[in-house]
Chains A and B, each alone.
Chain A
Amino acid sequence: MLSETASLVFWVIAFVTIISAIFVVSLRNIFHSALFLVLCLFSVAGVFVLLDAEFLAGVQVLIYVGGVAILMIFAVMLTSRMTNSEVRQQNEQKALGALVAFSFLLIVTGAILKTMSVKGGFGLSPSPSVTISTPHAIGRLLLTNFVLPFELVSVLLLVALIGAVVLAKKDGD
């Protein structure tokens, strides 16, 4: 359980997150969507802070806001011919998509509530107030227990780097 103040902060952040996420998927102008994506990613970083994951909040701001969102905005600007015109931004499956997403939400909520109602459902820790230095602990885990996934992810990043260069360069260069 979070403290009273943290709970209040949580409601504000959750509100901002969900409203900006709705704007991301529904706005006509894709550039405005990208700006709301930045807001949404920032508020998710706030959620990480509430969950005592300060290192991940920093990583979120650096990689998502500083990297991925800026990359999206670049791509939007490079393809701006498509965004300024008054063309439809959503396909004809709007109602079907909403139905699928809403039923998925119902299923997940049902699963969460059912697990909660079972005795000891999620196996909650009795004292969730242990504070540890997260960058130190994450670094230690990455180089001991998770060293194989860590190396695989570095290879994946290299592949993505080379792949992006190969895809984006002009033919004959």
Chain B
Amino acid sequence: MQVGLIHFLALSAVLFCIGMYGALTRRNAIGVLMSIELMFNAVNINFIAFAKFINPAAITGQVFAVFVITVAAAEATVGLAIVLLIYRNFREIFVDRVNLMKW
């Protein structure tokens, strides 16, 4: 069976949903960040698949993927800095136990 656009879209949808499940259920803040990286990757697969199959001459989708990767790197940096700060102050990285701002 030959692989076309729909297979890449399906792969991306499955990957996104796995990431979503992880982000919803992980207690460890680093685990949540890892799940979010999975979701970013699913989005990038979509961008690049559309870039290849719809208009291969204009590679706008790949440029968008470059931006997504950059923003994901920035997000991971600041996110992990915040996680380490929470760990230093509360000795805690489980997101359901860090409820200082909850009432």
Could you list which residues of chain A lie within 8 angstroms of chain B, going by C-beta atoms? 1-4, 6-7, 10-11, 14, 17-18, 21-22, 24-26, 30, 33-34, 37, 40-41, 44, 47-48, 51-53, 55-56, 59-60, 63-64, 67-68, 71-72, 74-76, 78-79, 81-83, 87-91, 93-94, 96-98, 100-102, 104-105, 108-109, 112, 116, 122-125, 128-130, 132, 134, 137-138, 141-142, 146, 149, 153, 156-157, 159-161, 163-164, 167-168
With both chains docked as a complex, state the minimum distance between the C-beta of B30 and any C-beta of chain A, in angstroms. Answer: 5
**B10 interface hit (Cβ, 8 Å):** yes
Please state if A157 and B74 are interface contacts (CB–CB under 8 Å): yes
The docked-state distance in angstroms from the alpha carbon of A125 to that of B34 is: 35
Task: List B contacts of A44 (CB < 8 A).
Answer: 15, 41, 44-45
Contacts known (A89-B26, A160-B77); A24 close to B35, Cβ less than 8 A:
yes
B78 CB contacts on chain A under 8 angstroms: 160, 163-164, 167
Within 8 A of A (CB), among B31-87: 31, 33-35, 37-38, 41, 44-45, 48-57, 59-60, 62-63, 65-67, 69-78, 80-85, 87
Bound CA–CA A37/B31 (angstroms) = 10
Q: How many of B's residues come within 8 Å of A, CB to CB?
A: 75
Q: Can you pick out 18 interface pairs between chain A and chain B where the beta carbons lie within 8 Å of each other? A: A18-B11, A18-B15, A24-B18, A25-B21, A25-B26, A30-B30, A37-B38, A47-B45, A56-B65, A56-B69, A82-B28, A98-B25, A105-B17, A109-B10, A112-B10, A130-B57, A157-B73, A161-B77
